[in-house]
Amino acid sequence: MANRAERGELFIVSGPSGSGKSTLCDALLKQSPNLYLSISCTTRQPRPGEADGREYHFLSRAVFEAERDAGAFLEWANVHGNLYGTRKSDVEAALASGRDILLEIDWQGAAQVAAEIPQAHRIFILPPSIETLRRRLISRGQDDDAVIGRRVAAAESEMEHAGEAHYRIVNDRFDDALEAIQAIYTNNHS
């Protein structure tokens, strides 16, 4: 556990939809008492069961754009017409207090954050194959064939950026992938 006098560490986890990054992050957070998930801001509407400040900070587009224009975000992106971003002040306050922070964001956001905080530890989660990824997306039962096709195409493009991360984990067997991400955290946290 970090001493309050020590600065926390920043861990950035990226990977395509269906790679298992959210499941791995959730498991890592449960096992790491000094690791906290950064709560992003978004302009999208809350989904059933979501609460402001828990899954996201839900902002109006005008508020988000004003904060963005004022330089309040470490990273931000327009994803399917909705804006998403990570506030600098939230991350900086947590790191300064000795907390380790986990950001689960796309590769573009990871590159933006790394430009601002170069000592951040970048981790990229990969599926074992594109076909496995396609099967995982189908098994979720959340998207039609056209959406799955777009997600697979996007994943192939995203995976070209895996080499920008410090660590790459192939999520073939969940337990092995979890052990790998735990080792990265254990070896690099305050």
What is the rounded CA–CA span in Å between residue 188 and residue 190? 7
In a domain, 1, yes or no: no
- 73 within some domain: yes
Indicate the pTM of the whole model: 0.88
Residue 2 lies in a domain: no
The count of structural domains within the chain is: 1
Here the CATH number for the domain that contains residue 150 is 3.40.50.300
pLDDT of residue 2: 44
**Residue 176 counted as domain residue:** yes
3 located within any domain: no
Please tell me the predicted confidence (pLDDT) of residue 190: 57
pLDDT digit of tens for each residue in the chain (190 aa)?
Answer: 444 458 999 999 999 888 999 999 999 999 999 999 999 999 999 988 999 999 899 999 999 999 999 999 999 988 878 999 999 999 999 999 999 999 999 899 999 999 999 999 999 999 999 999 888 888 887 778 888 888 899 899 999 999 999 999 999 999 999 999 999 999 997 5
Give the domain range for residue 162.
Answer: 10-188
Does residue 87 lie within any of the structural domains? yes
Give domain status of residue 81, yes or no.
Answer: yes
Nearest to 74 by CA among 34, 106, 113: 113
